[in-house]
Chain A
Amino acid sequence: QKEVEQDPGPLSVPEGAIVSLNCTYSNSAFQYFMWYRQYSRKGPELLMYTYSSGNKEDGRFTAQVDKSSKYISLFIRDSQPSDSATYLCASISGGYNKLIFGAGTRLAVHP
Chain B
Amino acid sequence: NAGVTQTPKFQVLKTGQSMTLQCAQDMNHNSMYWYRQDPGMGLRLIYYSASEGTTDKGEVPNGYNVSRLNKREFSLRLESAAPSQTSVYFCASSGSPRGDQPQHFGDGTRLSIL
Contacts and interface: CB of A to CB of B under 8 A. Distances in A.
B98 A101 contact: no
Residue from the set B48, B98, B104 with the largest chain A CB neighbour count within 10 Å? B98
B105 A94 contact: no
Contact of B103 (A41, A96, A99): A99
A6 B45 CA distance: 18
Q: How large is the interface on B (under 10, 10 to 19, 20 to 34, 35 or more residues)?
A: 20 to 34
A93 B99 CA distance: 6
B53 interface: no
Given A43-B107, A44-B90, A94 B40 contact: no
Contacts, number: 58
Contact of A99 (B41, B45, B107, B108): B45
B9 to A, nearest CB: 9
A32 B107 contact: no
Query: For chain A, which range describes its interface: under 10, 10 to 19, 20 to 34, or 35 or more residues?
Result: 20 to 34
Contacts of B16: none
Interface of B: 4, 33, 40-43, 45, 48, 50, 58-59, 90, 97-100, 102-108, 110
Given A41-B108, A103-B41, 14 more contacts: A41-B110, A43-B108, A46-B102, A92-B98, A93-B99, A96-B97, A97-B99, A99-B33, A99-B45, A101-B42, A101-B43, A102-B42, A103-B42, A104-B42
